[in-house]
Structure 1
Amino acid sequence: MLSHGWRRFLLLVVAGALAGLSIPPLFIVPTLFVAFPIWVWCLDGAERKSGLRRLFGPAFSIGFAFGWGYFTVAFHWLGAAFFVDGGVMIALMPFAILALAALIALFWGAASALAHLLWSHGSWRILTLATFVTIAEWARGHVLTGFPFDLLGYALTPNDEMMQITSVIGIYGLTFVAALLAMTPALIWPADNRPLSRRLLPIFLALGVIAAQLGYGYNRLAGTTATPRQDVSMRLVQPMVYEHADWGSADPVALIDRLLMLSDMRMNPEDQGLADITHLVWPESSLPFFLSAYPDALARIARMLPDGAMLLAGAPRQQYEPGDATSGQPFNSLLAIDNNGEVVASYDKSHLVPFGEFLPFQEFFGRLGIKQFVPGAEGWGHGDARRRLMNLPNTPKFLALICYEILFSGDLGDTAGAQYILNITNDAWFDGSIGPAQHAHHARVRAVEEGMSLIRAANSGLTFSTDPLGRITAELAPLQMAALDVRPDQRLASTVFSQVRYWPLLIVLGAGLLVSVAVSRGGRKRRTR
């Protein structure tokens, strides 16, 4: 039992914030093993209430407080976007971050309350809490479009070796493992007349699991060969376009000049420019204007591209009806432009960022003067996720993902038909924070899960390519205006995760619930005797 009332609440907020230091790219992993036992011990002493307070009482506030601290640290980098507009937005920034963290912390509050309903005072109680925390993490990654940044499992992916286990159990499976392992120090206390060696045993078992994870990753990296494709040669441009925040300041002629210069630049004496490139890639928001605003853009692109080459460009796309009238909301799109200057295919982003690209409950928030961050008259339209698998002439099929669509583990689209993943993004909103590095790390884990190369073109960084094991094979420095030539690797044979997805995890979570119910009922029967 660790205090009550506001003191307990404050203690848990601090403990959650400490656990938040385990997120990418900080990876101060030991903080998990210090912080999570405090959550367990506080639930040990949580008062049992009746009625609705049984669900929304002390146990809920314990999980909510811990989550509020964790998510405030985990999401603090989102505040960097408020500095783009400046002024009153900077003053609103801390309140917005605290409000978002509180909203997401509701999931952990619910997990804590439900776990307390089945609480026992033996070793099984950490299984109960780990099960409900994993369910809560799954829920926040899917409910109301989902927000799966900083899932708990990412804390156990600080290096290439430890990432490899996600090819088997996925990031949600690793979230369950991380939660369970982080709670093992809670079994040291209360002693319950157990010898110290027995109380320390779970900690040594947890360390053994982490050692096994490292060993598996080392063997997988050592035993797998990545083979570059010879039919695809890509040039990724990192153009540092900052007009994405204010379309009114965009000069289409100057931006096209910059993009064409970077695209055809020679980076060394042997560089042939675009002569041997099959795909030129411009990142999300590289063209912060509709192509109709600068009709000569397509002609200039056509003159630059060699025969057979294709430009894949992040740009807005407007729907048109007969008579050249615009129709509906614009899309945040990836446009495929051939060497004749024709848009031969497109993918429209289907998983939009709430408050970033569309405004939930728009009528209500609009009255308060709140609008989405990314420019667009009435928000952006939702595209068709089935079109993520792009099948262009004379090129292998690939999976097109725009910005944070890469975060949704197990829900990327038709991965079976794709040969590699192309992710275009604009993280310039968060320059100067850990956001771009965190987003990039999440993307690398998707490559490991699916066994496919990841090609990532970012406006201001991080631009890189990986092999199917998530190892970075080529990269540009953040905030470097340059171009990078890469080749995706041949995809691996299907990973265990790509075949079974999260069915094994669902079985484990179901078993965890059954065990928790059985142990809880057994404890109640013993207490009533």
Structure 2
Amino acid sequence: MERLAGRIILLWGWRRLAAAFAAGALLVLTQAPYDFFAAGFISLPVLVWLLDGATAQPSLNPLSRLKPAFATGWWFGFGYFLAGLWWIGGALLVEAESFAWALPLAVLGIPLMLAFFYGFATAVARIFWTNGIGRIAAIAFGFGLAEWLRTFLFTGFPWNPVGLAAMPTPLLMQSVTVTGVTGMNALAVFVFATPALLAARRSLRLGLILAAVMIAAHAGYGYIRLNSPADASADKLAVRIVQPSIDLSEKWDDSVRDRVFATTMELSARPPQAGRPAPQLVLWPETSVPFFFTERPDALAAIGEMLKPGQTLVAGVVREEARGGEPLYYNSVIAIDDGGEIVGAVDKVHLVPFGEYIPFADVAARFGIGQLVAGPMNFVAGSQRHPLELPGGIKASPFICYEIIFPELVAVDVASTRIIVNVTNDAWFGETPGPYQHFRQAQVRAVENGLPLLRAANNGISGVIDARGRVIDALALNVRDVVDVELEVPDAPSAAVLRPRLNGLAILGILAAFALAGRVRQRLQAN
């Protein structure tokens, strides 16, 4: 191990950057759908050894001395995000004749930008760098801080946070109710990076003990929580989730809209599955209605006729609103009662840059940049979110598409509700890791907030997730079918959402103090 570490430390030039890129790409195997967490015990130690050798001349100013560490982390991040997000380019191929030109911008541009966060992480870590366990705490702090910043800087894009590598199953998701995702990111990096101590064996015993305690506490807490009594439930809600699996090439085709709508209606009207009660709630995916209700009031009347007494439909739609003589379009979720009346609507607040709207649109237009994915129009962001009332007076918080990946956004908006609803259309990305990664993050949001989650996706993965992240029932990709579940709705969330957020920041503070103490101790010994 010492010989291998020495070779990696001494790598230089393009070989060093290639090793960082490969280590980052390897780390993607810890994410869904692969869930090969052991890859983290290879990838992160290699990064530590590369940073051991990321030195600069002492005569340079402090910022310049961090450039080798930043470059190492940047290439590591580029490998990680390129291998983990290449499937985003699929959205541009739905209408390839119009958008294929932008494929390099999506496939390469997004990883190129996100890699700066990991470059920042390794530069911060290098400030605290030592030759012992302190550097393990330093890299854990750097990544924890970078992942926290990734949740909100530049509109935020916390896809595949490194901490998900430690949460491949519900058993290993429960600790997030204590640490939050911020703390989990940092602790996961600490544990995965610990084998780097095997090379010089300095602080090896302490590092292995700390890692073993963290792993045991992580798994043990999950076992205890999953086997503890379920939260009190005063209500049950019979739910039908519809997965119509509509081809995106047809979704906005005027000539087939009636057939698309009829397919979704037929699935919704099917008799209940064997042994299941008639659904009280029917849930359709994002933009599942292929026209405006303002243009087709007959469709709204047809929904009212299809719904049985007492049933409510919650559907993803494009909502049109006239303002100042100009039409505005919202990506929305609406609730329709059994009389065919719209009784609630929530607009998407966090839109996808370049996919649903163009940042700095006037400036972008000068360079010929418009909407980069196929779709009906540019959207306007909603001003605020509020709960929808479901049958039985149960309140639910809806999140559209990738809104579900933002821990803070979800935590704030579910405070007074009892169910999380996520509608999405992952058909943009085909049979790639994207839909699996998206579903995994929805699972973690359910655990974090202690609430069950209903997820309707056009082509999958649709399903029902309980408050502890267990999948009650689900539909695989590209299956056209429905899920019928009688969901037990807890009286109140089983997780205190504020505490883990604060605990996560506290974990970052402890790791920073640990790393700083190691740095100070090493300097004192040198003197």
The TM-score with structure 1 as length reference comes to 0.90
CA distance in 2, matches of 1:516, 1:395: 51
CA distance in 2, matches of 1:215, 1:374: 46
CA separation of 1:2 and 1:449: change in aligned 2, threshold 3 A? same
Task: State the match for 2:103 in structure 1.
Answer: 93
Pairwise CA distance, 1:87: 4.4
Cα displacement string for residues 363-407 of structure 1 (whole angstroms, at most 9, x for unaligned residues): 343323442325243x211113332x2235742111111111111
Pairwise CA distance, 1:408: 1.1
Pairwise CA distance, 1:251: 3.4
CA separation of 1:65 and 1:45: change in aligned 2, threshold 3 A? same
Residue identity opposite 1:152 in structure 2: V
Pairwise CA distance, 1:7: 1.4
Task: State the match for 1:403 in structure 2.
Answer: 401
Is 1:433 matched up with 2:439?
A: no
CA distance in 1, matches of 2:22, 2:437: 22
Q: Which moved more, 1:505-514 or 1:364-373?
A: 364-373
Task: State the match for 1:216 in structure 2.
Answer: 221
Is 1:334 matched up with 2:333?
A: yes
Task: State the match for 1:455 in structure 2.
Answer: 454
The TM-score with structure 2 as length reference comes to 0.91
Is 1:163 matched up with 2:173?
A: yes
Kept in 2, the 8 Å contact 1:447–1:470? The answer is: yes
CA distance in 2, matches of 1:108, 1:483: 41
CA distance in 2, matches of 1:499, 1:53: 36
CA distance in 1, matches of 2:513, 2:209: 26
Residue identity opposite 1:103 in structure 2: M
Pairwise CA distance, 1:507: 1.9
Counterpart mapping for 1:240-255 below 5 A: 240-243=245-248, 247-249=252-254, 251-255=256-260
Match of 1:146 among 156, 181, 206: 156
Runs of 5+ unmatched residues, structure 2: 1-8
Task: State the match for 1:36 in structure 2.
Answer: 44
Task: State the match for 2:72 in structure 1.
Answer: 62
Kept in 2, the 8 Å contact 1:244–1:288? The answer is: no
CA distance in 2, matches of 1:392, 1:233: 11
CA distance in 1, matches of 2:371, 2:153: 22
Residue identity opposite 1:341 in structure 2: G
Kept in 1, the 8 Å contact 2:92–2:374? The answer is: no
Match of 1:76 among 86, 98, 110: 86
CA distance in 1, matches of 2:511, 2:448: 24
Give the number of equivalent residue pairs.
515
CA distance in 1, matches of 2:474, 2:205: 43
CA separation of 1:490 and 1:311: change in aligned 2, threshold 3 A? closer
Look up the SS of the partner of 1:26 in the other structure. coil
Pairwise CA distance, 1:443: 0.2
Q: Which moved more, 1:57-66 or 1:45-54?
A: 45-54
Q: Which moved more, 1:72-81 or 1:201-210?
A: 201-210
CA separation of 1:277 and 1:95: change in aligned 2, threshold 3 A? closer
Task: State the match for 2:11 in structure 1.
Answer: 3
Is 1:380 matched up with 2:379?
A: yes
Task: State the match for 1:485 in structure 2.
Answer: 484
Pairwise CA distance, 1:14: 0.7
CA distance in 1, matches of 2:395, 2:462: 21
Counterpart mapping for 1:342-381 below 5 A: 342-366=341-365, 367-377=367-377, 379-381=378-380
Kept in 2, the 8 Å contact 1:419–1:452? The answer is: yes
Cα displacement string for residues 496-525 of structure 1 (whole angstroms, at most 9, x for unaligned residues): 542413112212222332343343244334
Look up the SS of the partner of 1:291 in the other structure. coil
Task: State the match for 2:144 in structure 1.
Answer: 134
Pairwise CA distance, 1:349: 0.5
Q: Which moved more, 1:160-169 or 1:517-526?
A: 517-526
Cα displacement string for residues 244-269 of structure 1 (whole angstroms, at most 9, x for unaligned residues): 77624463322222222111113657
CA distance in 2, matches of 1:498, 1:335: 27
Kept in 1, the 8 Å contact 2:29–2:39? The answer is: yes
CA distance in 1, matches of 2:477, 2:340: 31
Pairwise CA distance, 1:329: 2.8
Pairwise CA distance, 1:32: 0.9
Look up the SS of the partner of 2:432 in the other structure. coil
Is 1:26 matched up with 2:23?
A: no
Residue identity opposite 1:306 in structure 2: K
CA separation of 1:230 and 1:503: change in aligned 2, threshold 3 A? closer
CA distance in 2, matches of 1:14, 1:269: 50
Match of 1:202 among 194, 202, 207: 207
CA separation of 1:459 and 1:3: change in aligned 2, threshold 3 A? same
Task: State the match for 1:235 in structure 2.
Answer: 240
Pairwise CA distance, 1:130: 0.7
CA distance in 1, matches of 2:427, 2:81: 22
Task: State the match for 2:499 in structure 1.
Answer: 500
Pairwise CA distance, 1:289: 2.1
Pairwise CA distance, 1:356: 1.7
Kept in 2, the 8 Å contact 1:64–1:109? The answer is: yes
Residue identity opposite 1:391 in structure 2: E
Pairwise CA distance, 1:98: 2.1
Residue identity opposite 1:97 in structure 2: V
Task: State the match for 1:391 in structure 2.
Answer: 389
Residue identity opposite 1:390 in structure 2: L
Runs of 5+ unmatched residues, structure 1: none
Kept in 2, the 8 Å contact 1:160–1:217? The answer is: yes
Look up the SS of the partner of 1:382 in the other structure. coil
CA distance in 2, matches of 1:352, 1:22: 28
CA root-mean-square deviation: 2.5
CA distance in 2, matches of 1:244, 1:453: 33
Task: State the match for 1:185 in structure 2.
Answer: 195
Task: State the match for 2:309 in structure 1.
Answer: 307
Kept in 2, the 8 Å contact 1:71–1:105? The answer is: yes
Match of 1:13 among 16, 21, 29: 21
Look up the SS of the partner of 1:438 in the other structure. helix
Task: State the match for 2:261 in structure 1.
Answer: 256
CA distance in 2, matches of 1:385, 1:122: 49
Pairwise CA distance, 1:311: 1.2
Percentage of matched positions with identical amino acids: 34
Is 1:121 matched up with 2:123?
A: no
Kept in 2, the 8 Å contact 1:42–1:62? The answer is: yes
CA distance in 2, matches of 1:155, 1:67: 15
CA separation of 1:485 and 1:375: change in aligned 2, threshold 3 A? same
Look up the SS of the partner of 1:293 in the other structure. coil
Task: State the match for 1:317 in structure 2.
Answer: 319
CA distance in 2, matches of 1:494, 1:384: 26
CA distance in 1, matches of 2:108, 2:180: 29
Kept in 1, the 8 Å contact 2:316–2:331? The answer is: yes
Residue identity opposite 2:72 in structure 1: I
Kept in 1, the 8 Å contact 2:226–2:468? The answer is: yes
Cα displacement string for residues 259-309 of structure 1 (whole angstroms, at most 9, x for unaligned residues): 22111113657677xxx3221111102113211232210111111112232
Counterpart mapping for 1:257-272 below 5 A: 257-266=262-271, 268=273
Asked which structure has the greater RCO (Cα within 8 Å, sep 6+), the reply is 2
Residue identity opposite 2:371 in structure 1: K
Look up the SS of the partner of 1:356 in the other structure. coil
Kept in 2, the 8 Å contact 1:170–1:497? The answer is: no
CA distance in 1, matches of 2:99, 2:265: 35
Residue identity opposite 1:29 in structure 2: F
Kept in 1, the 8 Å contact 2:183–2:505? The answer is: no
CA separation of 1:209 and 1:438: change in aligned 2, threshold 3 A? same
CA distance in 2, matches of 1:93, 1:473: 37
